[in-house]
Amino acid sequence: MRGNLKGRLLIGLCIAAFFGFKYCSQQEINPYTGKKQAISMTTDQEIQMGLQSRDQMAAQHGGLYPNENYQALVDNVGNKLVNNSIAKETPYRYEFHLLADPNAINAFALPGGQIFITYALYSQLENEDQLAGVLGHEIGHVLGKHSAERIANSELWQGLSTAGSVGADAGGFIQQYGMTKLLTNGRDDELESDDLGVRFMLRAGYNPEEMIKVMEILKRAAGPNRQPEMQSTHPDPDNRIEEIRKSIKKYSIN
């Protein structure tokens, strides 16, 4: 019985060592943000993943919104942000899509440059600067390689969970701890994207104060019963507003 336990522990340690080594070998410095992160795919793979998922994601939100003028505005603002920032220097293929969804107040980005905003959110915006705040934030996700980083982090914690299950029946605990870490990392990604969005807005001549008003829109949409920050992938809107103000001050001085 003891020998069997030792064998399981050894196998578990080998599995953990394999995934730990794999994760460490994937560490690189993001050339656009200077952040050290683990990335398990190439830039071309990021682009292909986004392109392959683009139509499916649009279909899940009712397809594209059938108004060429609205779509043209989204394209113009998005491209202005890209062309006046470091995003232009990246190999990503930025495309901006206005989705028909009238209910979900949301915007999101796929790896490689596919960026979406729902009509439900678009219709709440009061001016072009607020649209720039939404799109600048999503461009930040792409440039920050957040989806690719999250995939690599998920692979690590899945591997460690497997090792824990084999070696010491601790897979559930490790998995829960890993989920907590992923949520924390997700909130950090949102704050980094807000910071990048402020920088992009200033470079393109938009008023970054309008990003604060976007946060207020999201706060109203979530209502009084919004999910506590520790259980969410997004920071609380009030905390985001505070950090956005810091970014505005930082970049305005520079």
Domain boundaries, the chain: 17-253
Instruction: Taking residues 184-203, report their average pLDDT.
Output: 87
pLDDT reading at 164 higher than 70: no
Q: So what's the pLDDT on residue 179?
A: 46
Instruction: Give the percent of the chain with pLDDT over 90.
Output: 55
Q: Which of 79, 158, 59, 150 is nearest to 111 (CA)?
A: 150
What pLDDT score does 221 carry?
A: 81
Distance CA 181, CA 187 (A): 10
pLDDT in tens, 69-87: 999 999 999 999 999 999 9
Per-residue pLDDT for 129 more than 60?
yes
Structure confidence at residue 234 as a pLDDT band (50, 70, 90): low
b/e burial code for range 42-66 (CB count within 10 A of at least 16 → b): eeeebbebbbeebeeebeebeebbe
Q: Predicted confidence band at 153 (pLDDT cuts at 50, 70, 90)? A: low
Which of 110, 114, 111, 82 shows the shortest CA–CA distance to 96?
A: 114
Question: Angle 44-188-230 (CA atoms, 0-180°, nearest 5)?
Answer: 130
Report DSSP state, residue 112.
Answer: T
Tell me what pLDDT residue 231 has: 42
d(CA 39, CA 158): 16
pLDDT tens track for 205-219: 999 999 999 999 988
